[in-house]
Amino acid sequence: MALRRDALFALAVVFLLAVPGAGLYSPSDNIALLKTDNFDRILYNSSNAWLVEFYASWCGHCKKFAAVWKELANDIKEWRPAVRLAAVNCANSQDKRICRRFQVTVYPTMKFFRAFSKPPFKGEALKDADSKSSLVSLRHYIIDLLEQHGEAEWPPDCPPLEPTSMAEVQNFFAVNKVQYLALIVEEESSYLGREVTLDMLQYENIAVRRVLSSEANLTAMLGVQKTPSCYLYFANNTFRNVTVEMPIRAFYKYYLSQLPGVIRVAPSLPTVEPMNMTTAPPWRDFDSSKIYMADLESSLYYSLKVEVGTHQVLSGKNLTALKHFISVLTKFFPGRSFVMKLLQTTNSWLEEGNMTSISYNAYIDVLNNKNGTTGALLPDGQKWVSCQGSRPQFRGYPCSVWTLFHLLTVQAAKHNKSMADRGETTQADPLEVLNAMRQYVKHFFGCGHCAKHFEAMAQESMDKVSSFDEAILWLWSRHNRVNDRLAGADTEDPKFPKLQWPPPDMCTECHSAHSGEHMWVRDEVLTFLKTHYSPQNIDYSYLEGEQELLRKQKPKEEIQQGQQKVPLKEEENEDEGEEEEMTEEPPKNDEISRTITD
């Protein structure tokens, strides 16, 4: 027995030594993962600058610093045409020679590579940056390094970062074809103007320049009273002061990005043959301060009938996830009466008899109300309103899933408070809705990458949620994290850029600042979420009425009754055709892989 234990121990040691170091980053972190076979190709002769972290995945300081590096990558993702972040795992046996080649002896080590660097240049080490560096100090360090570029090596997509002058401003529109020139007036030690300049790098029709408070002629012309401040300058030599709640980076970026005519540069999309093009539905005007029942019912249709339909048989964890999802919908979804009746019927059917396995055909028969329960139906199809995109492939279902679950967390909190007010002592579970979402995303959501990312967030901290209010805020903060990760990606709708939500114009009280940095006021955010995602804020525009929907349902029931008389072989063919018709309209999985996003 002792010999066997020794042998197993030796085998375990060999195995551990043979496994390459697992990295601390993934491509979804907006960090380029450099390896032996791509390092030179990516770093050298690049039109943008690079800041590279050399780390070891076993290093405790590196593990702590990884959170800062990820946060920095997300914070400056708009700067990517000028500078990008990368990482090399020196603990990986296949890549550790890179670290020897670049004379890395301590971890983590950060090195800066200017645009158009040539081999054998080994990068400029950040001498004052270490694992204790803050997000702000690193961001300012990057700006300092960018400014060290000479004219010949300046990143071609990086705008000027030096202070502007009266002469440049007066001649600006003669040489620049934009609608707006934003002038950030500040003290020489401030980085605000350069940060906003880089933040707006991927937006068209606007330019940002820094003005020093010591530029007497220009500040006198603008009538500057305090710093920092911002002015919009126009081609006709007029200007106006920009008024924001707080003169900080986040507020100025949001204000400028919302100006008429200012759009994020649209991603290049593959050319689609005319025969494959989808005709965009008519645009539906909407109020962004409202949530729309049309989006919510469309989300129910797609999740319950289409995504669940990818499983021909529902059993085990899949069936448990479905039961949990429909149970939560039945308890907390504030739907129209005929939708709620169908959910209640479906929930009762799933719970009765302790079924351990059901076919999708049996399940869909219940959802289609083949039993003919009076006044019970779920409208077919998708009609996006506040979740519509500028093109058919944008937004839609992922947007509606987030809306649905935000609404459910708020409704669960309201339901729990009502129980407490009535003196009921039943112990309610604040994780009920979040667990339903987690299991639904894990087992049914069509974007596998998105599901893995959401599961990682859930494993990280969901079990720490101990109250209904915390559940509301947990989902809000994770939704913002997803938006932050995907902002600027080629799956983003240029008409609806992914912002940190709620923006200042929807909830001014939700925002604050500390040492010039944006801060959320979580109590105000919670109050806002409870108001925004309340039944009283649901808009019922663009919906068909119950009678019209029931009228449309009757012919379907007659067809279904006729199909029951068809021989088995023909019936199977009909089922196949029905499934093809149902899955034709919704977006394909690669189209919804934008995420659970907006």
Q: How many CB atoms lie within 10 A of CB 136?
A: 15
**If we measure between CA atoms, which residue out of 470, 493, 469, 471 comes closest to residue 483?**
493
Single out the catalytic residue among 59, 99, 230, 447. Answer: 59
**If we measure between CA atoms, which residue out of 533, 593, 22 comes closest to residue 296?**
533
Whether residue 74 contacts residue 485, with contact meaning beta carbons closer than 8 Å, is answered with: yes
d(C-alpha 332, C-alpha 335), whole Å? 9
Residues 6+ apart with CB under 8 A from 228: 184, 185, 186, 187, 190, 192, 193, 247
Phi, psi of 89 (to 5 degrees): -90, 105
3-class DSSP assignment, residue 565:
coil
Structure tokens at 303: 């999740």
Single out the catalytic residue among 62, 158, 450, 507. Answer: 62
d(C-alpha 17, C-alpha 124), whole Å? 32
d(C-alpha 123, C-alpha 486), whole Å? 29
Phi, psi of 33 (to 5 degrees): -95, 110
- HEC sequence for 346-364: HHHHHHHHHCCEEEHHHHH
The DSSP secondary-structure symbol of 533 reads T
Phi, psi of 84 (to 5 degrees): -135, 160
Known catalytic residue at 62 = yes
H-only helix segments in 19-101: 39-43, 60-75, 96-101
Structure tokens at 571: 């019936």
Known catalytic residue at 450 = no
Catalytic residues, by residue number, are 59, 62
